[in-house]
């Protein structure tokens, strides 16, 4: 049995699109962020949060494979989390305009009954178009971004703001399915 330690609709959709059967269980952990833990690199932060989510949910599903994930957006040494409000989302998009940023997802697979914990990091890069105020406002009118790291969604009108990307598209959406499917294939 696979249990997703996340209530993210994007992660659920990616697993469903891959034809996987899974349960969803919300982890009861507070995510660490770059402000509270500046000693951690963005990759360490993502890996740590993913592990905490998977470990906590595995307490309720010790026989299952529990999948935890955490996605971080970073650009020029700054970590961008989920915007608190639309003005913050606007500032994020304005700051990312014309730049290439990195999307890092930490993944953790835990099967408590077998004392198995496998963690990995997947990196992708996204280059934004040069955005003007009207373009940013038009994008924010179309897409709900407050629950998305970096304040945008590649899968929702991404062509309005994204010039190109490198690496896993599903990683940028929130769950690198290539890594997930490979692990599940090797650990039935």
* Neighbour count for residue 120 (Cβ, 10 Å): 16
184, pLDDT greater than 80: yes
What CATH code is carried by the domain that includes residue 48?
Answer: 3.90.950.10
pLDDT at 15: 98
Give the alpha-carbon dihedral of 50, 56, 59, 63, to 10 degrees: -10
Q: Which of 70, 85, 132, 147 is catalytic?
A: 70
Q: Which of 72, 122, 121, 69 is nearest to 101 (CA)?
A: 72
Q: How far apart are CA 106 and CA 171, in angstroms?
A: 10
Q: How far is CA 44 from CA 59, 105, 157, 158, 177, in A?
A: 23, 10, 30, 27, 20
pLDDT of residue 110: 98
Model pLDDT for residues 57-105, shown as the tens digit of each residue: 999 999 999 999 999 999 998 999 889 999 999 999 999 999 999 999 9
**Mean pLDDT across the chain:** 95
d(CA 95, CA 99): 8
Q: How far is CA 146 from CA 12, 88, 173, 176, in A?
A: 18, 9, 14, 21
- The tokens 């198995």 sit on which residue? 116
pLDDT of residue 134: 97
pLDDT at 185 over 90: yes
Query: Is the pLDDT reported for residue 188 higher than 80?
Result: no
pTM here?
Answer: 0.93
Host domain of residue 95? 2-186
Q: How confident is the model at residue 34 (pLDDT cuts 50, 70, 90)?
A: confident
**pLDDT tens, residue by residue, 20-32:** 999 999 999 998 8
> What's the confidence (pLDDT) of residue 33?
85
185 exposure class (CB count in 10 Å sphere: 0-12, 13-18, 19+) = exposed
Mean pLDDT of the 117-130 span:
98
**Known catalytic membership, residue 17:** no
Determine the average pLDDT of the residues in 29-56: 93
Q: Are the beta carbons of 62 and 114 closer than 8 angstroms?
A: no
Q: Residues 129-136: what's their mean pLDDT?
A: 97
- The whole-number average pLDDT for the span 150-157 is 94
The domain tally of the chain equals 1
Q: What percent of the chain has pLDDT over 90?
A: 92
């Amino acid at each position: 049995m696979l249990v997703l330690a996340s209530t993210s609709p994007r992660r659920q959709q990616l697993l469903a699109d891959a034809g996987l059967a899974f349960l969803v269980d919300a982890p009861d952990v507070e995510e660490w962020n770059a402000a509270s833990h500046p000693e951690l690199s963005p990759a360490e932060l993502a890996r740590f949060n993913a592990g905490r989510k998977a470990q906590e949910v595995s307490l309720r599903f010790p026989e299952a494979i529990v999948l935890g994930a955490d996605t971080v957006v970073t650009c020029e040494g700054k970590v961008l989390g989920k915007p608190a409000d639309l003005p913050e989302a606007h500032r994020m998009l304005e700051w990312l305009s014309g730049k290439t940023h990195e999307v890092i997802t930490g993944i953790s697979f835990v099967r408590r009954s077998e004392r198995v914990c496998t963690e990995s990091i997947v990196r992708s890069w996204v280059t934004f178009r040069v955005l003007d105020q009207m373009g940013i406002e038009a994008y924010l009118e179309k897409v709900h971004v407050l629950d998305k790291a970096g304040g945008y969604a590649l899968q929702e009108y991404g062509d309005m703001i994204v010039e190109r990307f490198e690496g896993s598209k599903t990683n940028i959406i929130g769950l690198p399915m290539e890594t997930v499917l490979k692990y599940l294939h090797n650990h039935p």
